[in-house]
Amino acid sequence: MGKAFSSICVVLLYAFLVLGRSAYAKMINFFVFGDSTVDTGTNKYLNFTKESGANFFPYGENAAEFFGKPTGRFSDGKVVTDFIAELANLPLIPPYLKPHADLSYGANFASAGAGILEATHKGKTLALEVQVNLFVEFQEKLKRKLGSVKSKEIFSNAVYCISIGITDYKAVFQGNSKLQLSKPSDDLVRIVIGNLSAQTQVLYNHGARKFLFMSLKDTGCMPGMRLMTNDGSCFAPATYLTEYHNMALEQLLMGFASKLVGFQYTLFDQFKFINARTQTPIKYGFFDGLNACCGCGRFRGLRTCGRNNPKRYHLCRNATTHVWFDSFHYTQGVQRQAAETIWQGKDHLIRPRPLKHFFMDETSQVRHRKQGKAQIASTLGFALSKSI
């Protein structure tokens, strides 16, 4: 009798602790804006274009959790924001445009090929401004549903990741290899950063406070750019532009932090991160830092991966040994290392604070239940068939 009574007490106490905690703990949402570096399938749901996604083999081939199927991600598996969500104990964050998506932990607006400038790949992707407009639309919907107090709390606690910019410069990189490094490109950086500044300000005005920015990787050293030099070295004009962009970005963020009340940011030095892996791959557990796993031509730098006739591209046997999966994008092994670096603040590559502080400074995150196969399939937009 006494024993039964004490067991009941234990159960009640436990229920009190667990339920009480979860009622008060805050869930920190994760919103993602950007291009193919963080697109998790948005472009599958665009009606106006069919060509700008990665929804075909061999993309996705190595993600067992994704059943080895393509998901629209430009990677052999997951992308960096998937790994960040994992580290933050969040489920996969679905594309905002996915019909019936569960957006209770955040939303992904990123669209492969997108630029900061509206003119970049116009008509084929969602430019940053369009992504931000969709976010505002989502915010309005949630406000109507939850009321403005609750919704304000969600959006001010949330983390906003912005990973975009390369495509705005790509036309210049690829236009001609005799690019003059003078006024025109400096002006371009100013216009690109000016538009990024404007969109960041819109997010801030809508309550965003905690930002994760990815600086640009050294675009001159991507296989698709090395292809353009005679000796296979990095393509200097592209490197110059991205370094210049990155400097201007950090200045912009320092300016915001001193001007805008409550504005907090953390900036990932992707330029140094990827160059270390490209130059000394073995130190980081890779074998090949130069050649893409998938593509054709020198360095497999021609972007033919998965397109058209499968005989027209080469696919390496084991992507885990490569830094680059295709001519412009990392393998998921590198994406995982990037997420861990960002989360932990390894190698001084994230300034001024590791990302984990953004997710942990509130009452600790409720641990969501690990997603089952059916849930993951639904987030990815698959029908869960017998073959899975």
Ligand X SMILES: *[C@@H]1O[C@H](CO)[C@@H](O)[C@H](O)[C@H]1NC(C)=O
156 is catalytic: no
**Closest to ligand X by CB, 90 or 134:** 134
Angstrom CA distances, 282 to 47, 273, 275, 300, 347, stand at 43, 14, 13, 20, 17
**Closest to ligand X by CB, 26 or 190:** 190
CB of 176 to ligand X, least distance (A): 22
Q: Of the listed pieces 29-37, 154-162, 211-219, 313-321, which binds ligand X according to CB under 6 A?
A: 313-321
Distance of alpha carbon 74 from alpha carbon 68, whole angstroms: 13
Distance of alpha carbon 350 from alpha carbon 334, whole angstroms: 16
Rule CB under 6 A: say whether 64 interacts with ligand X: no
Give the x/- contact pattern for ligand X in 153-192, rule: CB under 6 A: --------------------------------------x-
**Chain residue whose CB lies nearest ligand X:** 194
231 is catalytic: no
Rule CB under 6 A: say whether 195 interacts with ligand X: yes
368 is catalytic: no
**Closest to ligand X by CB, 18 or 198:** 198
What pairs with residue 387 in β-bridges?
A: none
Angstrom CA distances, 56 to 50, 74, 95, 171, 353, stand at 12, 10, 17, 25, 37
Handedness of CA 347, 349, 354, 355 (dihedral sign): negative
Rule CB under 6 A: say whether 133 interacts with ligand X: no
Q: Of the listed pieces 167-175, 241-249, 316-324, 349-357, which binds ligand X according to CB under 6 A?
A: 316-324
In the window 80-99, what residues touch ligand X (CB under 6 A)? Answer: 97
Read off the amino acid at residue 25: A
Rule CB under 6 A: say whether 251 interacts with ligand X: no
Residues 6+ positions from 292 with CB-CB distance below 8 Å: 223, 224, 299, 300, 301, 305, 322, 324, 325, 326, 327
Binding region for ligand X (CB under 6 A): 45, 47, 97, 117-119, 191, 194-195, 198, 318, 320-321
